[in-house]
Amino acid sequence: MTPGLIDAHTHVEASMVTLPQYGQAVVPHGVTSVVHDPHEVANVLGEEGVRDFSADAARTPLKARLTVPSSVPATGLQDAGGVVDADAVDNLLGMDRAVALGEVMDLRGVLDGDREVHAKIEAARDRGVTVDGHVPGVVDSSLAELARYLDTDHESVTPEEARAKADAGFRVYLREGSTSKNLAALVGVVEEVDTRRLSLCTDDRNVVDILEAGGINVAVRRAMELGVDPVTAVRMATLNTAEAYGLPFGRIEPGAPADLVLLSDLESWSVEHVVVDGVVDPTAGESPPSESAVATGTVEFDPVSPADLALPYDGSGPVTVRVVSAVGSFRTERLTASVPVETLPETDGVLVGDTEQDVLPMAVIERHGGSGTVGRGFVHNLGLDRGAIGTTVAHDAHNCIVAGVSHDAMARVANHLRDVDGGLAVYDPETDEFTTLALPVAGLISDAPPRETARSFEAVREAAAGVGLSVPGGVLELTYLALEVIPTVRLTNNGLVDVEAGEYRDVVV
């Protein structure tokens, strides 16, 4: 018998299913709680979206505990649909399920004393709750200053980084999700730091993975496979996390809620029964309804033409351009390349891609009914040889990203996503057909049964591979190409961003 497992940090929306559906999938695997940051929904719908998403938690035995989104929008370099300011943060921290301030991503604001950022942190401190951090790649002396204000971090990718953060005073979360799998690289720190300061988290789990294998239980089993003592592995997904957020569960002791996992074998995590608040196997029986309190109808932009997505250029080619080079694990590198100039209808000349160099045009369309701006640029390493792909899941602002071999194919995908109210889509000119996962709830979440959502997701992944997509991470890699808080360069709806400098750069060198 062990305590019910707790995922220390995740974004349930990344599964593309509703909170009740998520609970139905993970509870049978021994996951009885998640500490989740709904900043995806918040970036689309603001404070109201957070409240609506949290309201869905009442329809699942999964104990979903909320960390209030702190970075909405993540920066001023991109236009999101919602804003969660310091007053909204203070209001949301008063919700019953709120246990922390969500990951603070504006590290520059923390270090420079930005008034709005620190007002959110102070609101959390005034209520005596944890402040989650987001500190990718930071190992220098600024860690000590950041540790004055931030309590946790889940972004380490090397043992050196994790040790530095532990030494600075952070609670360090070892991440093993669908997309970022860092546990194997980081497991050595279990022998080098106080394990009571370590927790396990997923950050995200896609719909296929939660249906096949569950949630944080996968990280627990993987830790044991990597040689972590089973008791230590379980403690990193139960008591340690419970203490990080002041949760009454995550332990077996008199007076604690009866959240338990009964196993036939510990090291293989073979679950026989799950108990939540004394109820045995609470998710057995009918699946929860697919409906959500979160709004639909959030994909709002005018139909686009190929010329709308192309970068104009008055002159002859080739032209040297700055390119977003996708290198996997949602990281990008700086790259320049020479691209040709062609003429499209209603244009004097535009820059186009070069498939031989694997340099393709990319565009980010503001999709929240606001500015309507379109960022135009280029991406490397997707591998497409025909057609186009697109998504309205585009961390963190969740605008509409399209990339493809031609601007015509890109426009087709963008307009198709507009018509279906959001999702992931692939257009193949050989068949003149779309393969689509519709995500009408905030443009992020399906309203279909999870098995149907999983089938559609797999179909999109297969279709994307069919038109040549070969980047590590597949279609999900596309969803991070506009995330202007992770190095090094990103394309937003307002243009190309140098992340380290926090400034726009011209695409043309």
Mean pLDDT of the chain: 96
In whole angstroms, give the CA distance from residue 433 to residue 152.
45
Domain boundaries, the chain: 2-280, 306-505
- CA atoms within a 13 Å half-sphere pointing along the CA-CB vector of 354: 15
Per-residue pLDDT, averaged over 139-148, amounts to 95
Of the candidates 6, 72, 2, the residue with the CA atom closest to the CA atom of residue 34: 6
Q: What is the pLDDT of residue 473?
A: 86
Asked whether residue 286 carries a pLDDT value surpassing 80, the answer given is no
Contact assessment for residue 243 and residue 151, using Cβ atoms and an 8 Å cutoff:
no
Asked whether residue 289 carries a pLDDT value surpassing 80, the answer given is no
Number of H-type helices and E-type strands within the chain: 15, 26
Per-residue pLDDT, averaged over 135-139, amounts to 91
**Cis ω on the peptide bond leading into residue 345 (within 30° of 0)?**
no
Residue 154 pLDDT level (bands cut at 50, 70, 90): very high
CA–CA–CA angle 358, 360, 361 (5° rounding): 170
Q: Beginning with the edge strand found earlier in the chain, give each strand of the sheet holding 311-312 in spatial order.
A: 311-312, 350-351, 341-342
3-state secondary structure of 273: strand
Burial of 232 (0-12, 13-18, 19+ CB in 10 A): middle
Count Cβ atoms below 10 Å from residue 353 Cβ, excluding itself. 26
State pLDDT tens for residues 358-413.
999 999 999 999 999 999 999 999 999 999 999 999 999 999 999 999 999 999 99
Contact assessment for residue 238 and residue 250, using Cβ atoms and an 8 Å cutoff:
yes
CATH topology of domain 2-280: TIM Barrel (3.20.20)
Which tokens in the block code for residue 64?
A: 């979903």
Tokens 């707790």, located at residue: 6
* 369 strand-pairing partners: none
Q: What's CA 112's distance to the chain center, in Å?
A: 26
CA–CA–CA angle 266, 7, 477 (5° rounding): 110
Per-residue pLDDT, averaged over 114-139, amounts to 96
State pLDDT tens for residues 434-453.
999 999 999 999 999 999 99
Q: What is the pLDDT of residue 349?
A: 93
DSSP code at position 305: -
In whole angstroms, give the CA distance from residue 321 to residue 335.
8
pTM assigned to the model: 0.94
Residues 6+ apart with CB under 8 A from 311: 350, 351, 361, 376, 377, 507, 508
**Cis ω on the peptide bond leading into residue 140 (within 30° of 0)?**
no
In whole angstroms, give the CA distance from residue 447 to residue 453.
8
Asked whether residue 179 carries a pLDDT value surpassing 90, the answer given is no
